[in-house]
Amino acid sequence: MKIAMIGGKSSTMGFRALGVETFEVLKPADAAAAWRGMELERYAVVFVTEPVYQVLREEIEAVPLEGPPIVTVIPSVAGSRGAGYDVVRRLVERAVGTDVMARE
């Protein structure tokens, strides 16, 4: 199985150099077409940048947690908006039944 990444050019460049199959989008709104064009069952992990996640949230949340693929939200080169943390927090809360990652 492979690893994939959806994001802007600056974000995907480094991943491509590591052998990750990248899907470059000019703007986050273009991510829906990239997502629909992927054969998700080919990937063990799919990284998406936070701006892409905002567009694909419903589609990503529909992917079974057991995977594959495991979809992971990462910051774009523009910086973090906290979406990745929020996703992990919700997954942990769902797994243990309480919000153990609540920010003080």
**Environment class of 70 (CB within 10 Å of its CB; exposed 0-12, middle 13-18, buried 19+):** middle
Reference 46, options 88, 3, 95; nearest CA is 3
In the three-class reduction of DSSP (H, G, I as helix; E, B as strand; rest coil), residue 86 is classed as helix
| Mean pLDDT calculated for residue range 7-13 | 89
The class that CATH gives domain 2-96 is: alpha beta
pLDDT band at 60 (very low <50, low <70, confident <90, very high): confident
Structure tokens at 49: 């940048």
Distance CA(103)–CA(53), nearest Å, equals: 22
- Of the two residues 17 and 86, the one the predictor is more confident about is 17
pTM above 0.95, yes or no: no
User: What share of the chain has pLDDT > 70, as a percent?
Assistant: 72
Q: What is the pLDDT of residue 84?
A: 57
What SS3 state is found at 56? helix
